[in-house]
């Protein structure tokens, strides 16, 4: 029973959900200019996790044919047979329906619509269309992973503004260097599965140069959040310093595009996103709480 439960949890890709939620709560804190009501935070986090889990489940359902061809993914529940395709599809539908109902009833309709729209985009635009047909798959498809900041802001304000759209841009442009770094490491996997990730259809050097360019855009947008959101020196210092390190790492990879170095960029990309969003929350709670 425990093994079956673990298999269903694995369908939701918990580590990806964690990263998405790291961006949601700090955005809520900025939107509130303080700590929102605990019940609102809990409902938004749980609703967002359910929506993301449903999206990831549908992704595994649709990708089960190529997952069995890749070393990195051949242990997934739908490949091993621990979960049957019909079970996974039903599980995903239940997660999405629960997410929409919870967000609508406990938060607001805008946040519910945004969360489910992200799932539809991720499944139909990225997973079923772009992933198998375009080297720009993760560039466009990455928009789905940027929606949680819009959900977080909408949960507090029941509307959107420039700040959440800037944060959306940070995550949108952060996604290609983050994911292409991983794709460099697993280039042979994607090639075997005939998935046209950029490192498969282009040279590693070209991929690394593209990554470096995206890190510059990410840095500009992250720093632009500073004045637009009215944040203080904590966020400003972290955003500037972390953006410089991210860009330096990416440009270093462009000069030496080998997998081990790419994985260092991948690792720091997670640290980068975590750092700027945690700094955002601390800036509001510490400086504005004084």
- Domain end among 136, 159, 182: 159
Do 15 and 152 lie in a common domain?
yes
Cα(109)–Cα(113) distance, integer angstroms: 6
* CATH number of the domain enclosing 174: 1.20.120
Which of 233, 251, 249, 243 minimizes the C-alpha distance to 272? 243
pLDDT for 2 beyond 80: no
Angle value at C-alpha 128, between 212 and 56, nearest 5 degrees:
75
- Domain end among 159, 188, 204: 159
Q: 67: domain range?
A: 7-159
Q: What is the pLDDT of residues 153-210, one digit of tens each?
A: 999 999 999 999 999 999 999 999 999 999 999 999 899 889 999 999 999 999 999 9
For CA atoms 265, 271, 275, 278, the dihedral sign is positive
Do 192 and 251 lie in a common domain?
yes
Phi/psi at 129 (5° precision): -115, -70
Per-residue pLDDT, 4: 85
pLDDT for 3 beyond 90: no
Do 59 and 150 lie in a common domain?
yes
Do 21 and 148 lie in a common domain?
yes
Per-residue pLDDT, 141: 87
Per-residue pLDDT, 265: 96
Q: What is the pLDDT of residues 203-235, one digit of tens each?
A: 999 999 999 999 999 999 999 999 999 999 999
Residue 2 within any structural domain of the chain: no
Do 102 and 165 lie in a common domain?
no
Do 14 and 155 lie in a common domain?
yes
Per-residue pLDDT, 149: 97
Do 41 and 124 lie in a common domain?
yes
Q: What is the pLDDT of residues 240-286, one digit of tens each?
A: 999 999 999 999 999 989 999 999 999 999 999 999 999 999 999 99
Token pair, residue 102, equals: 């919870």
- Domain end among 106, 133, 159: 159
Do 114 and 168 lie in a common domain?
no
pLDDT for 73 beyond 90: no
Which of 232, 36, 44, 223 minimizes the C-alpha distance to 150? 44
pLDDT for 290 beyond 70: no
Per-residue pLDDT, 289: 62
Residue 102 within any structural domain of the chain: yes
Q: Are residues 70 and 186 in contact, defined by beta-carbon separation less than 8 angstroms?
A: yes
Over residues 85-109, mean pLDDT: 97
Do 165 and 46 lie in a common domain?
no
Residue 1 within any structural domain of the chain: no
Residue 190 within any structural domain of the chain: yes
Which pTM value belongs to this model?
0.95
Over residues 68-89, mean pLDDT: 91
Do 221 and 121 lie in a common domain?
no
- Structurally, the chain folds into a number of domains equal to 2
Do 112 and 54 lie in a common domain?
yes
Do 140 and 95 lie in a common domain?
yes
What's the whole-number average pLDDT of the chain?
94
């Amino acid at each position: 029973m425990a093994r079956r439960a673990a298999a269903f949890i694995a369908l939701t890709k918990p580590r990806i959900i964690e990263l998405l939620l790291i961006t949601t709560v700090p955005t809520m804190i900025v939107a509130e200019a303080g700590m929102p009501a605990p019940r609102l935070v809990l409902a938004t986090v749980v609703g967002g996790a359910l929506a993301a889990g449903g999206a990831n489940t549908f992704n595994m359902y649709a990708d089960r044919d190529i997952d069995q061809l890749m070393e990195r993914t051949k242990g997934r529940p739908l490949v091993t047979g621990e979960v049957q395709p019909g079970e996974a599809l039903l599980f995903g539908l239940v997660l999405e329906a629960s997410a929409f109902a919870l967000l609508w009833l406990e938060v607001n309709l805008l946040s519910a619509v945004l969360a489910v729209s992200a799932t539809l985009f991720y499944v139909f635009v990225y997973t079923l269309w772009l992933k198998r047909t375009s080297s720009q798959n993760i560039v466009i498809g990455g928009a789905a992973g940027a929606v949680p900041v819009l959900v977080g802001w909408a949960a507090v304000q029941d509307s959107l503004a420039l700040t959440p759209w800037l944060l959306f841009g940070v995550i949108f442009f952060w996604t290609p260097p983050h994911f292409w770094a991983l794709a460099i490491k697993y280039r042979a996997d994607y090639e075997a599965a005939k998935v046209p990730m950029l490192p498969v259809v282009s040279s590693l050097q070209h991929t690394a140069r593209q990554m470096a360019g995206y890190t510059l855009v990410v840095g500009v947008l992250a720093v632009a959040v500073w004045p637009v959101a009215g944040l203080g020196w904590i966020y400003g210092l972290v955003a500037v310093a972390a953006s410089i390190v991210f860009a330096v790492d990416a440009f270093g990879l462009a000069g030496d595009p080998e997998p081990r170095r790419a994985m260092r960029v991948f690792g720091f990309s997670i640290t980068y996103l975590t750092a700027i969003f945690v700094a955002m929350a601390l800036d509001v709670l510490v400086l504005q709480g004084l």
